[in-house]
Amino acid sequence: MIYQSTYQAAWVIAPKVEAIFAAHLSAARESGEDDLAPLPTANVVEAIIDATFWASLRKEEGHSPKISLAYLPPQQAGNPLLFKHRLPLSPGILTKIAPGVERAGIHLGVWLEDDELFIWGTTVSIPNFCFVLDVSEPALLVIKHRRIYGFGKFTNIAVLKGDQVKMVDENSTNMADCPPMLLSLLDLTAPSYWNDSVNVMIQLAVSMRSHGRGGTLLVVPADTNNWLQSIIKPIQYYIQPAFTGLSKLLQQDRKEASQIFWQTALKREVEHLAGLTAVDGATVISSDYELLSFGAKIGRAKGKENIDELSFSEPIKGGDAIVVHPTKVGGTRHLSAAQFVHDQRDATALVASQDGHFTIYTWSESQGRVQAHRIDTLLL
């Protein structure tokens, strides 16, 4: 197939995307995995990105399209919805059909036949390592694939925003004191379950980011109240006794995670807790996922020094760690979260900015300082 794209980033990134998927598919075959998706070749990737990018800039009845495309034949789509007449892959067609397929989990199926890419229908089921392209907002595209174990958030490969391209760096898992949440987002082979504690943290992060108001979530040890030393008194929204809605769900037998009602209940509790982070101040939960307070004001703990530097990194190519002042990462919300982790070194802080950035703050024993990982590239 010969395709001349007009979106420059498409042809720049296409060969890199093909190489990444080729490596993953080869490794999966060698390990005996089945139900593997077809390899998205560079020309296919380029054409899908180009058509989708220009569609993202259009509007249908005042709304920008939010769609997801998956590259696979109908035979690998489980129980697909098939169009009688296949549709050409073009910005105009994508814009017109977008209102009907913008719900989460629905993919437009795209396939290549007789050197022509076309849309054959929709599906909610895709094979392992299937090439997926999501439109998050105008000119913002995310390339991802389904995890090999099928649970949890899809794994992101790259993010394209206008002429800016960010390639995820999977080698970020090799850094010292890498937070478990970041490891899970980057490790393609790690099993991920609905009630896995790290996966729940990822769900909380995605939900925090989605409300768009910004917020801070502090995760503190369950067996101590030392975190109160870093909170300004009185605490307006102090929860007594601690709310255990999410905690009790996670204590249930793991086999129940396959039951749809349990997953629905978990999602409801995650949304409930993450929603509280929209209130001014920080939401505090224990490491056992018990809600302790929200709207809490962070202050420097007595006897502690002001934080004057931290290690900042992003898990993308060229995003290696640099030492900066905390104000270089973000505003007041970021500075207070960094100070909290500086004082409470066994705690973790998650910060969502109104502009969409998302940062994890943890203490690094090897570096002897707070480390900040910006992970919104992985959460889109």
Mean pLDDT (10-residue bins), the chain, 380 residues:
72 94 90 88 95 91 89 94 94 92 90 93 92 92 77 78 87 74 68 60 90 94 94 93 91 64 85 95 96 95 93 87 91 95 96 91 94 88
By residue count, the chain amounts to 380
Distance CA(178)–CA(184), nearest Å, equals 10
Strands 132-137 and 107-113: unpaired
Helix count (H) and strand count (E) of the chain? 9, 17
Which CATH code is given to the segment(s) 180-378?
3.40.1700.10
Q: Which residue has the tokens 């034949």?
A: 73
pTM, to two decimals: 0.82
Question: What pLDDT is recorded for position 169?
Answer: 83
Distance CA(53)–CA(45), nearest Å, equals 12
CB 289 within 8 A of CB 252: no
Report which residue type is found at 257.
A
Distance CA(309)–CA(326), nearest Å, equals 6
Show the tokens assigned to 356. Answer: 């969409």
Distances (CA, A) of 213 to 209, 268, 272: 8, 19, 15
Distance CA(262)–CA(250), nearest Å, equals 10
CB 109 within 8 A of CB 97: no
Q: Which residue has the tokens 């992060």?
A: 205
Strand ranges across the sheet with 237-243 = 237-243, 291-296, 282-286, 215-220, 348-352, 358-364, 369-374, 310-313, 322-324
List the one residue out of 164, 108, 145 whose CA is nearest residue 24: 145
H helix intervals, the chain: 8-30, 42-56, 91-97, 180-186, 197-210, 245-250, 260-275, 332-343, 376-379
Distances (CA, A) of 226 to 220, 222, 230, 302, 341: 9, 10, 8, 11, 12
Q: Which residue has the tokens 């920008």?
A: 64
Distance CA(51)–CA(6), nearest Å, equals 9
Instruction: Rounding to the nearest 10 degrees, give the CA dihedral for residues 370, 188, 271, 98.
Output: 120
Distance of CA 33 to the CA centre of its chain: 25
Cα Rg, the chain, nearest whole Å = 22
Question: What pLDDT is recorded for position 175?
Answer: 73
Question: What pLDDT is recorded for position 193?
Answer: 47
Domain boundaries, the chain: 8-167, 180-378
H helix intervals, 88-213: 91-97, 180-186, 197-210
List the one residue out of 168, 141, 163 whose CA is nearest residue 51: 141
